[in-house]
Chains A and B, each alone.
Chain A
Amino acid sequence: MAFLAQLGEQTDELVDAIVGIPESDQETRNIFREAVLRLLRNHTYLRTNQFEVEDRLKGLEERFRVIGRDALADAFHKRLEAYEPHHNKFTPDVFHFLLELADQPAQNTQLTA
């Protein structure tokens, strides 16, 4: 029960952070909340394969270098190394999530000073 309550709270926060429905519009907020909870509960995705995630991360770094974006590859490598001490059992899942949301980084990522 505590798990569901916490998930419900986090779902509200997520909807608020991305869609930004005003608090006065409780009806729309509830519709979004239920839709998100349904998607999170009734999915058919497999569990994260940590080795596949590692391969995808390495592959991305390599791809950056192949297309001549060495600065991006270096920055990416540096951050991955910096994250090493914070590695825990959820790390592959978090990286999996980021990889799913990655939007053509080789072409579109702009490095700022």
Chain B
Amino acid sequence: MADRTEKQAAAQQAVDILHEISTLLNCHLDRRTLSICISMIENGVNPEALAEVVKELRNEGQNMQLEAAAAAAGASSRRR
């Protein structure tokens, strides 16, 4: 039990350090996203392909936000 807690603490600490490194490298990753990505890499996902996926998802997320903002602006102008 104590051994498991120790392992968990060590894993947490490792993610903390990696998050600090990602901040220094200006990777724009939050801790949750970084943890998920580390798990995926440990599950055998290619790191370069995963980085490409993260970039694509960010672009898609931005596009969706812009579309939502445009739709909201269109709806409010129609109401006037």
User: Measuring CB to CB, which residues of chain A are less than 8 angstroms from any residue of chain B?
Assistant: 3, 6-7, 10-11, 13-15, 17-21, 32, 35-36, 39-40, 43, 45, 47-48, 60, 72, 75-76, 79-80, 82-83, 86, 90, 93-105, 108-109
Contact = CB atoms under 8 A, between A and B. Distances in A.
Interface residues of B, number: 44
Could you tell me the dominant secondary structure of chain B's interface residues?
A: helix
B26 A103 contact: yes
Contacts of B29: 101
Interface of B: 10, 13-14, 17-18, 20-30, 32-33, 36-58, 60-61, 64
A97 B47 CA distance: 5
Contacts of A3: 43-44
A40 B28 contact: no
A40 B49 contact: yes
Could you tell me the dominant secondary structure of chain A's interface residues?
A: helix
Contacts of A60: 25
